[in-house]
Amino acid sequence: MTTIWGGSAQIYGNKDVSYRQDNLIAGELQPVTQSITLKGNQGILRRGTIIGKDNTGVYVVSKATATDGSEKALAVLVDTYDTSSGDVSGAGGYFTGEFNASRIIIDDSWTLETLRDAGRPLALFFQDVVNADNPT
């Protein structure tokens, strides 16, 4: 078992198969998923990470300051994956949907506002959600 941010994860192959309610999905817009390949050697990428496609055609953590194509935030990672051993084929990405802004994982080069602007034309919406975990 591998520890990820204080919680426990059950890694099967290179995918986290443990279940944790995380409130990532926020809204009624139907999320659309697609199978993707994550670039290897990025370590553990957690569910909710904002990813983009680099100029080689694989997905990496999106950085607003990148110049390899991945500066375009294209998707939200569906599950947690371990890329330490190499590329991960068959990973899942949400390519449309409404997501809880407090549950997504973004690179420090992004601000929530710039990410919202980048995601809007792609039907990726990042909502401020009020719930028991985040009452403000």
pLDDT digits (tens, 9 = 90+) for 52-68: 999 999 999 999 999 99
Three-point CA angle 45, 102, 65, nearest 5° = 60
Judge contact between 83 and 77, C-beta under 8 A: no
Question: Which one of 3.90.78.10, 3.30.310.10, 2.40.300.10, 3.40.50.300 gives the CATH number of domain 30-127?
Answer: 2.40.300.10
Q: Where are the domains of the chain?
A: 30-127
pLDDT digits (tens, 9 = 90+) for 60-115: 999 999 999 999 999 999 999 999 999 999 999 999 999 999 999 999 999 999 99
pLDDT digits (tens, 9 = 90+) for 27-44: 889 999 999 999 999 999
